[in-house]
Every structure is written in C-alpha cells, then in structure tokens.
Structure 1
Amino acid sequence: MDATCNDNASRTLSQEDQENFIEIHPEAHDPTTSPAPTIASRPPSISVNPIRFRHPHYPDSSNVLLTLFAPDSAAGGIEYGVAHAACGVISGNRWNGWFTAKADGLTITLTYGDILCERDYYFHLPESSLEAPYAIVPTFKEWAFPHEKLHPCMLASKSRPHTLCTEQIRHAIISQRGSF
C-alpha cells in the first residue's frame, strides 16, 4: 500500500464526517447472516384446493387421472370445458366423456362456462367398464395432437363466440407450443 492509503486509514474523522459516516460491517456482505425473506407459499391467484379427476373403474387409492389447480372462482373451481378437455386428452383425445361425483354416480349436467368446485370428479367414457376400463395416455410424449378432431371448446365459429374455455385452452396451447 502507498503512504497516502496508510495516512487515510490512520486519520481520525472530523465531527461532520462522523455524522455522515456509514460503517459497513463484514456481516453485511455475508448473505448467510441475514434471515431469508419470507415468500408466500403460493401466488394468491392459484387455489390451494386442487381438483382431482379420477378413473371410475379403478380403486380410489390408484385412480387419479390428473389434478388441476382451481383458479376460476374465489372458492376454488375450474371451468367445465377446460377440465373436460384435459380429461379428454388423458383418455386419448376422447371428447364424449362425462363427469360424476361418485364412481357409480349420476351424470352431472354441465355446460361451457360452468365452474366445477368439488374436490373430486370421475371422468367416464361410454365404452368403459369394470371388466374393460378405458386406457389413458400416461405421458405427453405418447400423446398425439388431434389435428382433425379438436375438443369442441377449442373450435371457434361465427355462430358461437369464444368461450372462457376456448381462450384458456388456446393460451395454454400457445404458451406450451415449444415444449411439445
């Protein structure tokens, strides 16, 4: 070190300098000495009560087809068309399915825009039974995009304006296009 640095280091501060002086402690540079900032466990827009969609012909211990966050209502719900399309994809692009609240329950009559709010639903297909349950697509790698047979809520026409379902699915498809 040169003499100027040594002289400055040993110099005492004037009263004015002492009032404006900011002392930096070594621990201020060490992030391990500061407590971690608190972060919300989930963004407020994502429901903490996800909805499970189940296969009706397997035991409840092993029949969850998929679980979706439920951000479409304050109580935690998901729009029917989005849920139906997602279950249709899992079942190999089968759009003729329906939901029930119990494995052997009655069909729940729903239309696009309706909100599903229960924690569990069963997705049925007409050709499925206990003896011959419908197959599922276990990974997106094994899924084939249904170019000529899109889910009805993905199709827009002049007679039917875009629905909430259409916009959400189109957004999801566009935002995930690079990863297919």
Structure 2
Amino acid sequence: MDPQRSLEVRPDEAPRPTSTDRPYITIRHPAYPSTAPPLLQFRAVDRTWEGKKPVHAFDHDTALIACGIVTGNTWPNGYLGLKIRRNNTYLKLIETRGEVLRTHEEYYYFINDRTPATYKYPVVPSFDHWRFPHNELPKPWAEISISGLPPDFNRLGGAVGAIERDLGGEKWTEQNAHEVARLIPQKHEKWFLFNDMQNYRRSPRHLQPMDDLGNLISLRPKKLRLFQTCMFTVVPRKKRPDRVAPLVLRCFTPGDGDEYISLYHNHSAGVIIDMAKEYLFARFAMLMFRSDTMPFFQGEGATAEKMLDPRITWRDPVVPQGENEDGADSAPEGPLNRRKRKRSDSNEGNQAKRHNAEKEN
C-alpha cells in the first residue's frame, strides 16, 4: 500500500462484486512469523472501490474492536497497521469515516504505540476466559439506545414474553410464527454468572437470569437458525461521526456465494426492543473466538495466553460435535483439538511456573 494513498473510500456506493470466491481479510500478530496462523481472519463481506473497480473489503472499526476483544479489551489504545517491507517498519492506519480493510493487504494489530512490534502480547484463548468490560464498551456500542417496553407490559421474561414483545402486540399465528434463542447461550452460564451479567436484566422477576427478556431474541424460524449458526449477529452501524445508525445485521460466516450477504448483511435488524446492549456486545464477542475466525492457536509454536488466573494452566475443552443447545447445527465457538502448547515467557507464563514450583516444594 502506498503510504500517500488517500484513505477516503465509498463503501456504500460500490456495487457488490460478482465473484463468489470471497477472500479473507487477515490480521496478524506482529511478534510472530509470517508462517504462523493469523490472529483473526474475516470473510470480506463489505465492499469499496479500487479506482473504478468494486472490490471485497471489511469494515475497519469492526475489525479493530474484534482485535481488542481477543487481546483482553485493548481497543482504547489498539490500532491496525500495515508492514512496509522495504525497511521493516509499520504504517499506522488513521481512522477515518468509512475506512475499510482490503483483501490484497495484510494487516497487523498493535495493543498500543508504546510496546515494540517484537512484544508477544498475550491473547485470550477462549470466550470463557474473556472478561466483560463493564461500563467500558467501545464506540458505537456504548452509544446504542434501545427503547424499553411500555410500563403496563408484563415483564415475566421467558420465550412467551420475548415473542409477545417482538410481535409488537400482534396475535401469534402460523403466518407470523416466531421462535426464541438466547443471545448468550445456556452453555456459557458459568461465564454469565462469573462476569455478573445478571446486572443487566430487564425482567428481574424471572427466576432464570439467562431467560431474561434482555438476553432473548425471537425471529422467524429460518432466520433464527441462521442466527444460531452464527451466520450473522446484530451490531450498531455508524453512518456519520455524530450519529449512531439503527442496529443492523452483520454476516460473519455467510457460507458459499453471496446469497446470505445479499439477504442480510448491513440490512436493518428491525425493531429491537428492551434488549440489553451488553448482551448484544457479548454475543458479538463470542463470535470472535470461533476457530474459523481466530485461527491463532492452531499453529505449532509457543504462544502467550491471557488467562482469568495466570496460575491456572488452561486446557482445551472437549466440545461434542453436532447440534447445539437450541437444536441447530453450528461450528465450534473456540479453537478445538489443538496440540498441547508450551507457554511463552510472558508474565502469565512466568507466574504459572513460579506457582508450580511452589507447589512442588
């Protein structure tokens, strides 16, 4: 990339490229060799112009927040950069409205501008090890405004309450049938309670915190299956620096071709009422720890891992393949079936070694 290239792009004006061979956007950890798996990779579901040619791309702000999530909520000081190979330096990308990442570039994520590129900053190995950033959501998530329910609505929670809420007073029929799913699935209940996510409940009278209205979404059956299998999720979209646009759908695993991208990507999420933005953000974060999105731990070399407790040696969970809790097939949500890795000499690794030595003595 030419450092003098203008960063002005027109992502909403470019017609969608017709190629179904949709490439990936790769974001690397600068301290690891080019042969190591990337930190994150995304299907290029957005688009922009290269001269007069529309090309596949990916939204810069979405990628930046995603990198911040998997490195322990480092987005306040984190940034993306490009490597200038002729002098082995990095060019920091300047945030501009509408900036996108392009498929022919290779990007690097830095947690701040004070640590050298050779620093092996730790990476969170799974969603269960990620800590929720209470009162520190990134923009534009922190600015989401979601309407509440009328005062006379019976806030009992549960599937019936979610369907009644999302139908907006319409009578349930076979023609407008809805089904319900949790934003944070039941299998992450320990994470939910450990991170005090019950503090964002909208219907406190309901006995099950994860069946609170703020954590439930109801959709038409076909659309719900796509949501459950992580084809898309709900995100805020910023059209102008001074205004937050309504919530939209963003595709992450759209499958082959452009069918689901054309049907859902960047389309309005519809009327979102009385959901907790904190649960929506947690859902977004959960998708970043899928093995197809974060291949970083699939390599053979040592890696620095950011743990909940640095004294605990993390082991890969054994997740059964097949149907998820809601009955829909989905890809695993974390890096699975990896070989046991040697921990790096990060602070976390050193503390773990000291702890083990103390136990032996």
TM-score, L = length of structure 1: 0.60
3-state SS of the aligned residue for 1:105? Answer: strand
> Over the residues paired in the alignment, what is the CA RMSD in angstroms?
3.5
Aligned pairs for 1:87-106 (under 5 A) are 87-95=67-75, 96-102=77-83, 104-106=89-91
Q: C-alpha separation between the residues in 2 aligned to 1:153 and 1:56?
A: 27
Spell out structure 1 runs of 4+ moving beyond 4 A.
Answer: 44-47, 166-169
Q: C-alpha separation between the residues in 2 aligned to 1:153 and 1:105?
A: 27
Q: State the match for 1:139 in structure 2.
A: 126
Q: C-alpha separation between the residues in 2 aligned to 1:45 and 1:87?
A: 27
Q: Is the 8 A contact 1:46 1:69 kept in 2?
A: no
- The structure whose Rg is larger is 1
Q: Is the 8 A contact 2:136 2:142 kept in 1?
A: no
Q: Taking structure 1 as reference, are residues 135 and 175 closer, same or farther at Cα in structure 2, changes over 3 Å only?
A: closer
Q: State the match for 2:38 in structure 1.
A: 64
> Greater shift after overlay, 74-83 or 153-162?
153-162
Aligned pairs for 1:36-47 (under 5 A) are none
Deviation (angstroms), 1:111 = 2.4
3-state SS of the aligned residue for 1:61? Answer: coil
Which of 83, 86, 89 aligns to 2:66? It is 86
The answer on 1:152 being equivalent to 2:132 is no
Q: State the match for 2:101 in structure 1.
A: 116
Q: C-alpha separation between the residues in 2 aligned to 1:52 and 1:76?
A: 13
3-state SS of the aligned residue for 1:113? Answer: coil
Q: C-alpha separation between the residues in 1 aligned to 2:97 and 2:67?
A: 15
> Greater shift after overlay, 134-143 or 111-120?
111-120
Q: Give deviations 1:69-94, integer Å, cap 9, x for gaps.
A: 11111511111110100011011110
Q: State the match for 2:244 in structure 1.
A: 162
Q: C-alpha separation between the residues in 2 aligned to 1:167 and 1:157?
A: 12
Q: Give deviations 1:1-47, integer Å, cap 9, x for gaps.
A: xxxxxxxxxxxxxxxxxxxxxxxxxxxxxxxxxxxxxxxxxxx7986
Q: Taking structure 1 as reference, are residues 104 and 47 closer, same or farther at Cα in structure 2, changes over 3 Å only?
A: farther
Q: Give deviations 1:51-104, integer Å, cap 9, x for gaps.
A: 011111111111511101111115111111101000110111101111111173
Deviation (angstroms), 1:133 = 2.2
Q: State the match for 1:51 in structure 2.
A: 25
Q: C-alpha separation between the residues in 2 aligned to 1:66 and 1:133?
A: 15
Identity value in percent:
28
5+ long unaligned stretches in structure 2 = 1-17, 48-53, 146-240, 251-268, 270-278, 287-361
Q: C-alpha separation between the residues in 1 aligned to 2:72 and 2:27?
A: 15
3-state SS of the aligned residue for 1:48? Answer: coil
Q: C-alpha separation between the residues in 1 aligned to 2:140 and 2:19?
A: 24
